[in-house]
Amino acid sequence: MRAIRGRFAPSPTGSMHLGNAWAALLGWLAVRSQGGRMVLRIEDLDPERSRPEYMAGLLEDLAWLGLDWDEGPDKGGPYEPYVQSQRLALYDEALSRLAERGLVYPCYCTRKELRTAASAPHAGEEAPLYGGACRLLGAEERRKKERAGRRPAMRLRCPAESVSFTDLLHGRITVDPALTAGDFALRRSDGVHAYQLAVVVDDGAMDINLVVRGADLLSSTPAQVALFKLLGYAPPDFLHVPLLVDSMGVRLSKRHGSLEIRRLRMNGARPEAVLGYLAWKAGLMPELRSIKAYELLEPFNPARIPSRPLKVEDDAEYMILGA
């Protein structure tokens, strides 16, 4: 049997909230329950929102929760560096390899159309399928656009063929990414590498074979699987877990300030109470009670996790504080 290597890859664009801790816990359990190694990778490609203090806070919150890791920016490891902004040469090299095979072309469409390319997409926020306006531009047309001051993004000529991958909750999935993702961006016009490229290069280079993340990223997985194969990497197995949402059905985010891990800590919550609440929501415990992460390892079964979004109660902060 292959050794399991999983990762938690947060973006340092704000404080960790309950939804982030939810994904971190389930990812940690999926890896640790199989005796695997846990990798912590910081995805700080977004230069406008990433902050060193947020990165420090993420490490502190994860350690407080007891969700340890074997490799990461603070520990090093065989695949360092573990911070994306320090891995840009790897992304450039991967882009060059694709370009040499004629799989990349410049796109001169507006920055507004490409603005979200560097960030992981979320449910209801995916960019529309690219129509291929720049796919067949000739050399003279490209020079004309560049003389006019247009800087190109770089897009993948997405192969028109189906890909398959295994999701531990949703089963075997087969999709044609050319129909669902189109020619997706690999690098923005301002030079920032796109999420799709960076995450595939990092997971492939770090030998990650189990990826646990939110169900909002399920729609982007076929494109990533296609890119794994084009770059010569074996795609990992996936576990796309349901999102935690508020009483209105809106996914938890930084605007739910009372559910920030830092805030809960300051208000007197214990890590076992936070983990107990999350384990209860995941169906890993029949009742709400405090528990340590390692106590959840033996009974962990990803098939027991609900596939639908899970609502967080309006008084969740008080439930956690009282647990």
Task: Please identify every residue annotated as catalytic.
Answer: 254
Positions of E strands within the chain: 5-8, 37-40, 104-107, 153-156, 163-167, 171-175, 185-187, 210-214, 237-241, 244-245, 310-311
The side-by-side arrangement of strands in the sheet containing 104-107 is 104-107, 153-156, 185-187
Q: Can you read off the two tokens belonging to residue 260?
A: 């920030």
Q: Can you read off the two tokens belonging to residue 261?
A: 């891990």
Please report which residue ranges of 66-171 form alpha helices under DSSP H: 88-100, 111-114, 139-147
Q: Is the dihedral of CA 121, 251, 317, 280 positive or negative?
A: negative
How far is 162 from 66, CA to CA, in rounded Å? 40
How far is 135 from 154, CA to CA, in rounded Å? 10
Give the chain's largest Cα–Cα span.
Answer: 68
How far is 231 from 198, CA to CA, in rounded Å? 12
How far is 281 from 313, CA to CA, in rounded Å? 10
Of 234, 300, 3, nearest to 224 (Cα)? 234
Burial level of 29, CB count in 10 A (0-12/13-18/19+)? Answer: buried
Strand duo 104-107 + 153-156: pairing: antiparallel
How far is 310 from 183, CA to CA, in rounded Å? 33
CB 252 within 8 A of CB 264: no
